[in-house]
Amino acid sequence: MKKAKYRVFFGVGLLAVVGLFGCNQETPIEKTKAAAASANAATQAAGQAAVDAIKTPLDKARQTENTLEKSAEQTAAKIKEYTQ
């Protein structure tokens, strides 16, 4: 009789554990959505990193270009003064 009770308790406990683990699993649709969201975030981060990698040298090049233009204008102005 005691063995029968233990088997019943064991069976109920086993079903409870299996039920708890089964409830915590995601459905395939939720997994797909989660994977797509993480992939989208990773893609955006990689895209932003690429933009930043290109943008920084371009900004420096624009600053250099502006400096050279100002220098050329100043040089042209000095030459114009000396030739008049």
Mean pLDDT of 2-31: 68
pLDDT score for 45: 81
pLDDT score for 20: 63
DSSP string, 14-81: HHHHHHHHHHTSPPHHHHHHHHHHHHHHHHHHHHHHHHHHHHHHHHHHHHHHHHHHHHHHHHHHHHHH
pLDDT in tens, 29-68: 666 666 666 667 777 888 888 888 888 888 888 899 999 9
Residue 41: which of 33, 31, 52, 30 has the closest Cα?
33
Please provide the average confidence, as pLDDT, over all residues in the chain.
77
What are the sequence ranges of the domains in the chain?
Answer: 57-84
Q: How far apart are the first and last CA of the chain?
A: 122
